[in-house]
């Protein structure tokens, strides 16, 4: 109600939700949160975290997404009690569900923690801003901190003036004694303020950091991150007990997979139809991503590729629409300078049939996503697989960019991205450069096969149509789509998930999953 103290919206996510939920609610919430975190990731890759532009851009992006608007609403804003509770419930539930989905591997955990922490930081800053502009004495930040047992000692006026020279010297953004007198300071153990310590933005004495009010966000964020990584480790251990639930586990697994882009083949068959072995040289030149171009030219040069190269490239070719018979023909021809027909049949044909699910486990293997290529099977001496932006030295990469006809300026930008570990963004900029697209052309690269499809769509002319409809050209299913297309991509996502879940059993009892 309006008469009571406003309730705090910001969450530390200590208490798991309880009660029971419809399975499709679970699914929608999970996907909504995932979409939200993907948007957080995207903005964070493009801009300096915590900066004004970053906050504005993030607010703009998140505001358009389901869940986003309510997460950005600050505590003092009055909404009726029922709606308030519902919004909090969706926030908490979506967080906990995705936490479960993302706790299996180290990569997923790290990703989830990073994005959730960035989201938390943004919300905390918004709460601080709201506190500052509020006329009442209510402080959402203070209420949040004390509700979560976080106590920072505030410095008395006397203490502050005693330390004035040190505080002035060590705290950026405060220029004079007069200014200093208007800023509240807190004392906290230095481990609470590691961000500030690391960037030398705080006065340290006897193991304590003297933090201005603006630094409180940094301390709260550090706590939040530590809490979350501990909780994910706990959730990970609890997972085996979830194994009994035949509905939730596949759902969570599918969602986690979706993040890595590994699900790419599930729906898309490649827009160009069947690809024949004779077409590969030409396609490689115009539409293959750099990783596959490199594998292709190594294959042409050496008449050979090593194991992981054959795997990465073979599955990619399968993904762009090359049938098994063509693949055998292609590889036999490519190896011909070095390997005769007999040897090929004995040593290599098996592997190709294996990729197509015709041998061994008979699994229908999917082409590798960028994340997978970037993070697994690191190439060694003599290997040609991997992602050039990740695995290629700067000089060599610069050379290749030049060979691809990319201008000095653009090449410099791409090299910087690669150096900053933003491999997929480097690839996106590369994509824009070779297709002569402007820098505001909306595209993101998650998968080599998606790169290929986007390229084909552009070159065959569908690009214009797709752009004018503002549809993101085909990508992995979950991505922060522009609002105009959100409905369309949501439909596609639910289709895909429907296959995973047995809809008849549609109630999930959440009490079973409390870690």
Which of 445, 457, 480, 481 contacts ligand SF4 by CB under 6 A? 445
CB of 515 to ligand SF4, least distance (A): 35
Residues 288-327 that bind ligand SF4 (CB under 6 A): 289-291
CB of 444 to ligand SF4, least distance (A): 10
* Closest alpha carbon to 40 in 112, 119, 152: 119
Q: What is the DSSP string of 18-76?
A: -SEEEHHHHHHHHHHHHHHHHHHHHHHHHS-TTSHHHHHHHHHHHHTSTTHHHHHS-TT
Distance CA 332, CA 194 (A): 57
Q: Which stretch binds ligand SF4 (CB under 6 A): 28-36, 78-86, 231-239, 419-427?
A: 419-427
Q: Is 427 in the site for ligand SF4 (CB under 6 A)?
A: yes
CA dihedral 217, 221, 222, 226 (to 10 degrees): 160
- Distance, CA of 115 to CA of 171 (rounded, Å): 28
388 binds ligand SF4 (CB under 6 A): yes
Out of 8, 188, 387, 415, the only residue in the binding site for ligand SF4 (CB under 6 A) is 387
Q: According to the binding rule CB under 6 A, does residue 424 interact with ligand SF4?
A: yes
Please name which of 431, 312, 442, 433 lies closest in space to residue 373, comparing C-alpha atoms.
312
Size of the site for ligand SF4 (CB under 6 A): 14
Q: Should residue 284 be labelled a site residue for ligand SF4 when binding is judged by CB under 6 A?
A: no
The residue among 120 and 430 lying less far from ligand SF4, judged by its C-beta, is 430
For the chain, counts of helices (H) and of strands (E): 26, 6
Position 423 contacts ligand SF4 (CB under 6 A):
yes
Q: Give the DSSP H/E element, type plus range, for residue 175.
A: none
Cα(428)–Cα(431) distance, integer angstroms: 5
Residue 425 CB, shortest distance to ligand SF4, in Å, is: 9
Q: Is 387 annotated as a binding residue?
A: yes
d(CA 224, CA 45): 21
The least distance separating ligand SF4 from the CB of residue 264, rounded to whole angstroms, comes to 11
Q: How far is the CB of 391 from ligand SF4 (least distance, A)?
A: 9
* Closest distance of CB 453 from ligand SF4, Å: 12
Sign of CA dihedral 193, 196, 201, 207: positive
Which listed residue (54, 348, 451, 513) binds ligand SF4 by CB under 6 A?
451
Burial (Cβ within 10 Å: 0-12, 13-18, ≥19) of residue 347: exposed
Binding site members for [4Fe-4S] cluster: 291, 370, 387, 427
| List of residues contacting ligand SF4 (CB under 6 A) | 289-291, 370, 373, 387-389, 423-424, 427, 445, 448, 451
Binding site members: 291, 370, 387, 427
């Amino acid at each position: 109600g309006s008469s009571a103290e406003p309730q705090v919206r910001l969450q530390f996510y200590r208490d798991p939700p309880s009660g029971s939920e419809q399975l499709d609610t679970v699914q929608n919430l999970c996907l909504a949160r995932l979409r939200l975190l993907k948007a957080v990731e995207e903005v964070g890759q493009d801009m300096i975290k915590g900066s004004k532009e970053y906050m504005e851009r993030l607010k703009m992006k998140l505001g358009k997404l389901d869940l986003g608007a309510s997460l950005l609403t600050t505590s003092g804003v009055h909404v009726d009690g029922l709606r308030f509770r519902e919004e909090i419930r969706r926030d908490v539930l979506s967080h906990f569900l995705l936490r479960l989905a993302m706790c299996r591997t180290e990569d997923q955990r790290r990703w989830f923690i990073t994005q959730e922490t960035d989201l938390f930081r943004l919300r905390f800053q918004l709460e601080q801003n709201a506190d500052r502009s509020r006329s009442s004495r209510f402080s959402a930040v203070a209420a949040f901190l004390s509700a979560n047992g976080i106590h920072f000692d505030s410095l008395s006026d006397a203490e502050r003036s005693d330390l004035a020279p040190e505080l002035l010297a060590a705290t950026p953004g405060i220029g004079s004694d007069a200014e200093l007198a208007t800023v509240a300071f807190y004392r906290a153990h230095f481990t609470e303020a590691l961000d500030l310590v690391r960037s030398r933005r705080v006065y340290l004495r006897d193991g304590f950091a003297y933090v201005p009010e603006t630094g409180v966000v940094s301390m709260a964020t550090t706590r939040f991150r530590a809490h979350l990584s501990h909780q994910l480790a706990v959730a990970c251990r609890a997972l085996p007990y979830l194994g009994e639930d035949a509905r939730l586990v596949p759902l969570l697994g599918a969602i986690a997979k979706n993040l890595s882009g590994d699900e790419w083949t599930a729906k898309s068959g490649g827009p160009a139809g069947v690809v024949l072995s004779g077409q590969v040289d030409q396609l490689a030149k115009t539409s293959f991503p750099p990783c596959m171009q490199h594998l292709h030219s190594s294959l042409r040069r050496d008449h050979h590729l090593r194991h992981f190269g054959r795997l990465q490239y073979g599955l990619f070719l399968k993904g762009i629409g090359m049938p098994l018979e063509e693949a055998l023909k292609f590889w036999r021809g490519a190896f011909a300078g070095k390997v005769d027909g007999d040897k090929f049949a004995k040593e290599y044909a098996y592997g190709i049939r294996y990729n197509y699910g015709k041998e061994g486990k008979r699994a229908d293997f999917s082409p590798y996503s960028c994340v997978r290529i970037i993070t697994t099977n690191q190439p060694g001496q003599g290997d040609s697989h991997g992602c050039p932006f990740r695995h290629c030295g700067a000089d060599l990469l610069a050379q290749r960019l030049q060979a691809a006809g990319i201008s000095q300026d653009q090449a410099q930008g791409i090299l910087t991205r690669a150096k900053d570990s933003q491999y997929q963004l480097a690839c996106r900029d590369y994509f824009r450069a070779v297709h002569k697209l402007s820098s505001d052309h909306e595209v993101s690269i998650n998968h080599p096969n998606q790169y290929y499809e986007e390229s084909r769509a552009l070159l065959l002319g569908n690009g214009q149509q797709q752009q004018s409809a503002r549809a993101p050209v085909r990508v992995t299913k979950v991505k922060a789509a522009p609002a105009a297309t959100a409905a369309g991509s949501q439909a596609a996502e639910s289709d895909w998930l429907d296959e995973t879940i047995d809809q008849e059993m549609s109630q999930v009892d959440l009490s079973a999953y409390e870690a």
